[in-house]
Amino acid sequence: MIHRLLAAMFFVFAFSGMANAEPFKWGGPIGSQTSDGYNALGPVVQQPIEFPHYRHARDMGINCMYCHTGARRGYVSVIPRIDKCIGCHQSIESVRNKPRIKKLFWYWDHKEPIPWKKVNDLPDYVRFNHERHIQRFYFRQNRPVREVCGYCHGDVANMTVDRRVKALSMGWCISCHEKDHRENDVSMKTSHGPYECWQCHK
């Protein structure tokens, strides 16, 4: 199944790369994404800055966790602090006058947080733990980061502004927890995800 998923993802990567540098910019109508059986494509969200994920993750090959530093450490993946952005961009003169970067520096100069809109949101009674998933699939199974993050977030590395592409519903979570996953990259031992209510509903 994972292979089929990967193949589908590859197809999406390849196709979208050819057609458009920012393939998910317009998206289809809500619910048009049906490859995993959950009509899941979320709305296009207007962000304060059109952050080009494809530029960072695909073109530059930056690991998702370089910016989303909480994903391997805690429950939330963390929207990067602004000084993280500035840390690199103050040395990248070539893009310093681009409109998006100007906007970024405006926030930085005014010491104001950027009011990003939530794209992948869950109800308050659900506590999704990023750390558990990243530790298992990225560190122990040694899989590529874009694949691991992509299980839930889709192919963000080919998006400009992020867009929800998976259902993030309970049934969708369970559909993956039901499957047997290898415990690490050296052993063939497998186990499925937990089913206990309290694992997510604290």
Partner 1 sequence: MSESGINRRDFLKVLGLGGSSLALTGCGNTDIRSGDEVIMPNVQPEDFVVPGLSVYYASTCRQCGSACGVMGRVREGRVLKMEGNPASRISGGKICGLGQAAVQVQYNPDRLTQPMMKVGSSLQPISWDKAMALLDEKTGPKSGIKGEEFGFLTGAMSGHLNVLTQNYMESLDSRNHYVYEALSPAISLAANRRVYGVDQPRLHFDKAKLIVSFGADFLGTGASPVHFAAEYAKFRKAPRGTLVQIEPKMTMTGGNADRWIAIIPGTEGVFALGIANQLLKHSEFTGTVPADIVDLVSKYDADTVSRITGVRSELVGHVASLLWEKTPSLVISGASVEGHAHGVQNAVAVQLLNQILGNVGKTIDGQAQSPFPQLSPAAGSFSALKAMNEKMGADEFKAVFIHGANPVFTAPSFMGFRDNLRKVPFKVAFVNALDETAEECDLVLPIFTAVEEFGSNVAWYQPEGVEITIQQPLMNQLYPDTRSMGDIMLNLVKARKADEYKAWPDFFSYLKTAIINIKPVVKYTDTDEHFWYDTLSNGVIHVDGAPQQVSAKFAATDLRLPASANAQDPVYPFYLVPSERHYFRDGRHANCGWLQESPDPMTTIVWDSWAEIHPKTAASMGIKEGDWLEIASQNGMLKVKAYVFPGIHPDAISIPLGQGHESLGRYAKGVGVNPFRILNPVFEKDTGELALYGTRVSVRKTGNSEIVVKDEGPVNTQMGRKLVVTLPADVAQLSKEI
Interface with partner 1 by CB under 8 A: which residues?
42-43, 45-46, 69-70, 73-76, 78-83, 107-108, 111-123, 163-164, 167, 169-171
* Nearest residue to 134 via CA among 75, 199, 85: 75
Alpha-carbon distance of 140 to 135, in angstroms, equals 6
Query: Are the CB atoms for 199 and 125 separated by under 8 Å?
Result: no
Residue 37 or 144 having the CB closest to partner 1: 37
Closest CB 171 distance from partner 1, rounded Å: 5
Closest CB 70 distance from partner 1, rounded Å: 5
Closest CB 182 distance from partner 1, rounded Å: 27
Is residue 54 exposed (0-12), middle (13-18) or buried (19+ Cβ within 10 Å)?
buried
Residue 113 or 144 having the CB closest to partner 1: 113
Closest CB 14 distance from partner 1, rounded Å: 26
**What CA–CA distances, in Å, run from 31 to 23, 51, 154, 155?**
17, 23, 15, 17
Residue 99 or 123 having the CB closest to partner 1: 123
Residue 84 or 182 having the CB closest to partner 1: 84
Q: Is the dihedral of CA 30, 32, 37, 41 positive or negative?
A: negative
Closest CB 82 distance from partner 1, rounded Å: 5
Residue 46 or 97 having the CB closest to partner 1: 46
Which are the contacts of 89, defined by CB distance < 8 A and separation ≥ 6?
A: 95, 96, 101, 104, 105
